[in-house]
Chain A
Amino acid sequence: MSTINMQQLKKSYQDTEVIHGINIDIEEGEFIVLVGPSGCGKSTLLRMVAGLESITSGEVKIDDKVVNDLEPKDRGISMVFQNYALYPHMTVYDNMAYGLKLMKMPKDEIDKRVQDVAKLLQIQDYLQRRPSKLSGGQRQRVAMGRAIVRDPKVFLFDEPLSNLDAKLRVQMRMQIKTLQQKLAVTTIYVTHDQVEAMTMADRLVVLNNGIAAQIGTPMEIYDDPKDQFVAGFIGSPAMNFLDCEVCDESIKIGQQSIATPTHVTQRGKIVLGIRPEHFNQSVSDLQGTVQMIEKLGSNVLLYLKMENSEQPVVIQCDGQLDAKIGAVYPFSFNTEKLYFFDTNTQQRIY
């Protein structure tokens, strides 16, 4: 169990700065997920903690000790890579034992640890096989085993599930989370998949262009996003954004309008955000043309075209809904769940 502190972490390649000063304090045993679109710097940040990437300025502390200049092996971390990075010429056993051998641990101690971890992950049966003879899910577990067997202070995961098929991914997601709770090791987990982020994290760090856009528990971020980027990135299907104009009596969305909520005091152009699950179908002060229908079984996603907006509005409806493409569909917002963002700064106003 360890704490990790990042203070004003920056990273530049030659003259381009890719990480612009990040502050995160991670508590003992916490499961932190770094999430963001590709190229936002989340892997770079993780690799800086791992020691695989140099730190341009700022500090990384593990257990209150600055580790900026320590080799990866001396930081007490272990890492699981996206493509597993198992040594192809070694058996599963040797893959897991390699790090321990380099620590000059006695043979019987190594054997005991490897067997224990193999039992924990249920990979005892393939200890003598080569990684190339294993399926994706098995390789994934071996990679985890190699990380666990070192008994690290910190686990680092770099998109470990993105090479697995959808079903296995859900399974492994659960396994990783339960395992982490059992071992209570502080964990940083990188992913671009926001479902993974929401389900696994104790706290989320949403990264955008090398800046921590928001840090908080999954529900905090879902309920109370700080800006338009976070609001759009977290939640599936993604939040709808509509350009509108706020007047004294009503908010105009193209030709249509809704009553202005009392707490909205700013006037003029503004961006309105509403999640697909926050629509009312009983009342109908707005309408749109059905453009596309996605049937997901438990519910149906309707893509509605409103005049004056390029992006269709996505509404999540009951699974029994019967709609036809081209039909006009009436709907209304759940006014308590509206978000408002500044057009220029994209910061949330209300």
Chain B
Amino acid sequence: MIENRPMATFVSHTVLILGVALIVFPIWVMVVAASHDALRLTQVPLPLLPGNQFWINLKLLFSGKGFSAPIHLTLLNSLAMALMISVGKIVISIISAFAIVYFKFRFRMFFFWMIFLTLMLPVEVRILPTYEVIANFGMLDTYAGLSIPLIASATATFMFRQTFMTIPDELMEASRIDGASPMRFFFDVVIPMSRTNIAALFVILFIFGWNQYLWPLLVTTDPDMYTVVMSIKQMLESGESEPMWHLIMMTALVAMLPPILVVIFMQKIFVKGLTDSEK
């Protein structure tokens, strides 16, 4: 569309700038708060310009003094949980979508709708029975307990189903004539052709896993198993002493980094995966 209406340009830019400011401002406050010492953050007005304590705070945070869980451990736990959830979700849903799209078996649609129904049952709804099951399996305070209940994914199954349905049937027939078994076809044709979708889904699911809060809070009692998102909350409830805002903000900043890195590095494939149809 080629247009030249200055007023429209002005309005659309204003809206865009406001929208960006709305997201960027809290992050800015977080960065600023992370660069001052504890005392400055208890005084009014709150600073809006960065201080000079940034590296000192960062060092202090990683020295791990005075916290229940050291930050590098919680980061590692979060990473392990997020990776297990996202990889597990992709592996399970891609296989089930493959079964649903390419095989004709009894009750196929029934199973599909069963999977679809689980969309209505997120963790929060089934949290008590799930906890009971995990506890009985002795999986409290383990990575398995953190990730397995979150691994089944109707959304991902549905997305892969849609992707597979865009792959022409002739490719499956051609590979049958070439002598490929169903699993060969799966690995040699279906997976390479869904590469971009897998990447896009990985980004979404990694962030979903990283941001989990309620479930880790329930199944972990051992501080060594805390995730970083949880630990921010724990730091706020530090008993009689003042909350250490500069360190809390620094933790939040560090916790934001991995999802940002994932998005930055996978952005290209991510956008391609959501829009591309080179088939």
A-B complex is real: yes
Choice from B175, B177, B278 contacting A77 with Cβ under 8 Å: B177
Q: Judging by beta carbons under 8 Å apart, are A88 and B193 in contact? A: yes
Given A81-B170, A85-B170, A87-B189, A102:B177 Cβ within 8 A:
no
Chain A, range 47-98, C-beta contacts under 8 Å to B: 50-52, 71-73, 77-79, 81-83, 85-89, 98
Instruction: Knowing A88-B193, A89-B192, say if A102 contacts B179 (CB, 8 Å).
Output: yes
- Nearest CB on B from A233, distance (A): 27
- Chain B residue with Cβ nearest A130: B278
Expressed in whole angstroms, the Cα–Cα distance for A257 and B176 within the complex equals 61
Quick check: B170 and A83 within 8 Å, CB to CB? Answer: yes
Mark each residue of chain B from 151 to 192: 1 if its CB lies under 8 Å from any CB of chain A, else 0. Answer: 000000000000000001011011111111000100011001
- Let me know if B174 and A132 touch, CB within 8 A: no
A99 at the interface (CB under 8 A from B): yes
Given A98-B188, A132-B278, A85:B168 Cβ within 8 A: yes
Inter-chain contacts of A103 with B (CB < 8 A): 179
Q: Which residue of B lies closest to A156 (CB)?
A: B177
Interface centre among B173, B180, B184 (most CB of A within 10 A): B173
Residues of A within 8 A of B176 (CB): 51-52, 71-73
Q: Name the residue in B173, B174, B193, B195 with the highest tally of chain A Cβ atoms < 10 Å from its Cβ.
A: B174
The residue from A79, A87, A89 contacting B177, defined by CB atoms under 8 A apart: A79
A271 to B229, CA, bound (A): 86
Contact of B174 among A71, A85, A89 (CB under 8 A): A85
- The answer, among A51, A88, A98, for a CB contact under 8 Å with B178, is A98
Interface of B is mostly: helix
In the complex, A88→B177 CA distance in Å? 17
* Contact residues of A: prevailing secondary structure: loop
Contact A88 B278 (CB under 8 A): yes
Task: Using known A-B contacts A83-B168, A85-B170, A102-B184, determine if residue A72 contacts B193 with beta carbons closer than 8 Å.
Answer: no
A51: chain B residues at CB < 8 Å are: 176
Q: How far is the CA of A98 from the CA of B178 in the complex (A)?
A: 7
Cα of A89 to Cα of B171 in the assembled complex, Å: 12
A86: chain B residues at CB < 8 Å are 174
Classify chain A: how many residues form its interface, as a range: 20 to 34
Q: Which residues of the other chain, B, contact A150 by a CB distance below 8 angstroms?
A: 178
Q: How far is the CA of A307 from the CA of B184 in the complex (A)?
A: 66
A146–B176 Cα gap in the complex (Å)?
Answer: 13
Chain A residues within an 8 Å CB radius of B178: 73, 98-99, 102, 146, 150
B185 CB to nearest chain A CB (Å)? 10
Q: How many residues of chain B have a CB within 8 Å of chain A? A: 19
Could you tell me if A72 and B168 are in contact, using CB atoms closer than 8 angstroms? no
Residues of A within 8 A of B5 (CB): none
**A146 to B175 Cα, complex, angstroms:** 11
Inter-chain CA distance A79–B176, complex, in Å, is 11
Q: Which chain A residues border B174 with CB–CB below 8 Å? A: 79, 81, 85-87, 146
Residue among B168, B179, B189 making CB contact with A73, cutoff 8 Å: B179
- Say whether B59 faces chain A, with CB atoms less than 8 Å apart: no
A85 with B279: CB separation less than 8 A: no
B248-279 contact mask (Cβ, 8 Å, vs A): 1 or 0? 00000000000000000000000000000011
Q: Which residues of A contact B173 (CB under 8 A)?
A: 50, 52, 72, 79, 81, 85
- Among residues of A, the one whose C-beta sits closest to the C-beta of B192 is A89
| Chain A 100-142 interface 0/1 with B at a Cβ cutoff of 8 Å (1 = within) | 0011000000000000000000000000000010000000000
User: Which of B170, B177, B195 has the largest number of chain A CB atoms within 10 A?
Assistant: B177
Report chain B residues within 8 Å CB of A88.
193, 278-279
The minimal Cβ–Cβ distance linking A185 to chain B, given in whole angstroms, is: 15
Residues of B within 8 A of A132 (CB): 278
Instruction: Point out the residues of chain B lying under 8 angstroms from A146, CB to CB.
Output: 174, 178
Complex alpha-carbon distance, A87 and B174, angstroms: 9
Q: How far is the CB of A95 from chain B (nearest CB, A)?
A: 9
Q: What's the minimum C-beta distance from A332 to chain B, rounded to whole angstroms?
A: 51
What are the residues of chain A within 8 A of B188 when measuring CB–CB? Answer: 87, 98
Please give me the residue from chain B that is nearest to A89 by CB atom. Answer: B192
B180 touches A87 (CB 8 A): no
Measured CA separation A132–B168 after assembly (Å): 15
Interface residues of A in 145-199 (CB under 8 A from B): 146, 150
Residue of B nearest to A150 (CB): B178
Please report the C-alpha to C-alpha distance between residue A51 and residue B173 in the assembled complex, in whole angstroms. Answer: 10
| Interchain CA distance A83-B170 in the complex, whole Å | 8
A99 and B188 alpha carbons, distance in the complex (Å): 12
Q: How far is the CB of B133 from chain A (nearest CB, A)?
A: 41
Given known A85-B168, A87-B171, A87-B189, contact A99–B177 (CB-CB < 8 A): yes
B177: chain A residues within 8 A (beta carbon): 50, 52, 72-73, 77-79, 99
Interface centre among A71, A72, A132 (most CB of B within 10 A): A72
Contacts of B184 in A (CB 8 A): 102
Given A98-B188, A132-B278, do A85 and B179 touch, yes or no (CB 8 Å)? no
Instruction: Tell me the complex Cα distance, A344–B14, Å.
Output: 77
Q: A51–B176 Cα gap in the complex (Å)?
A: 9
Q: With a CB–CB cut-off of 8 A, which chain A residues contact B192? A: 89
Complex: how many Å from CA A189 to CA B145? 59
What distance in Å separates the Cβ of A297 from its nearest Cβ neighbour in chain B?
Answer: 38
8 CB contacts below 8 A, A to B, read A50-B173, A50-B177, A52-B176, A71-B176, A72-B177, A78-B177, A89-B193, A98-B175
Known: A73-B176, A87-B174, A99-B179. 14 other contacts (CB 8 A): A52-B173, A71-B179, A72-B177, A77-B177, A79-B173, A79-B174, A81-B170, A82-B170, A83-B170, A89-B189, A102-B178, A102-B180, A103-B179, A150-B178
Interface residues of A (CB under 8 A from B): 50-52, 71-73, 77-79, 81-83, 85-89, 98-99, 102-103, 132, 146, 150
Which 3 interchain pairs have the tightest Cβ spacing?
A: A73-B179, A85-B170, A99-B178
